[in-house]
A = this chain, B = another copy of it.
Amino acid sequence: MTQTSVPDVVIRRLTTYLQTLKHMAQRGEHVASSTEIGRWAGVSPAQVRKDLSHFGEFGRQGLGYEIGFLCTQIERILKIDQDWRLILVGAGALGHALMNYGAFVTGRFQIVAVFDSDPAKVNTRVGQREILPMERLAEIIAERHVEIAILAVPATAAQHVADQLVACGVRSILSYAPITLNTPRDVHVRYIDPVASLQTMTYYL
């Protein structure tokens, strides 16, 4: 099966499986069954096996999955066993919080440049980075081979900035703006929306 035929929801579930496996490893476990993985991820054991079978044969019938091995394999499949350069657009309060977020300083995802359209912010610093004007977006994206951007701009500016990012070659956008972006089919967008998360919890109250 070619990579492009794997449904997006399977890719999303792989990250959940990875988290589950890492939790189990932290608890000192070495082997995981599809039942255990599925229970945590909220899917059936058959679904876990089917999802993983898109990418190869990782376990043995009746013996389960070796946790360390499966973690390594999933990280390789998701390409998170390598470093990625990101840019951040929007240097407001959220942008500052993101620049100070440990994972973006020392982790595999590194924010290499920050942009803002506000002339008063340009040339000031956020974290260790100087804020660049939007005019330099194309140049930096090309120079640093950036394919991923974080969008931390107001809702009213988000679509316009997304269009610019796409035109410059960005193919993955993580958006904090509470609107749905229109992007070409080959551009992947994920949204971070606290309200959507809160809406999954009130049921229990």
Q: How distant is the Cα of A201 from the Cα of B148 in the complex, in angstroms?
A: 9
Q: How distant is the Cα of A188 from the Cα of B14 in the complex, in angstroms?
A: 22
Question: Chain B residue with minimal CB distance to A186?
Answer: B204
Instruction: Tell me whether A157 is interfacial, beta carbon within 8 Å.
Output: no
Our pick among B12, B98, B172, B180 for the contact of A194 (Cβ within 8 Å) is: B98
Task: Mark A residues whose CB is within 8 Å of B.
Answer: 3, 7-12, 14-15, 18-19, 23, 41-43, 77-80, 84, 86, 92-94, 96-98, 100-104, 107, 109, 147-148, 150, 155, 171-172, 174, 178, 180, 186, 188, 190, 192, 194-205
Q: How distant is the Cα of A98 from the Cα of B3 in the complex, in angstroms?
A: 38
Q: Which residues of B contact A178 (CB under 8 A)?
A: 101-103
Number of copies: 2
Can you identify 24 A-B contacts, CB atoms within 8 angstroms? Answer: A7-B42, A9-B42, A11-B204, A12-B42, A14-B203, A18-B199, A78-B199, A78-B202, A80-B202, A84-B202, A92-B97, A94-B97, A103-B194, A107-B195, A109-B195, A109-B198, A171-B205, A172-B204, A174-B194, A174-B197, A186-B204, A188-B201, A188-B204, A190-B197
Question: Max chain B CB contacts within 10 Å: which of A18, A98, A109, A196?
Answer: A196
Q: Are A19 and B204 in contact (CB under 8 A)?
A: no
Q: How distant is the Cα of A3 from the Cα of B202 in the complex, in angstroms?
A: 13
With A23-B180, A94-B94 known to touch, is A155 a contact of B102 (CB < 8 Å)?
A: yes
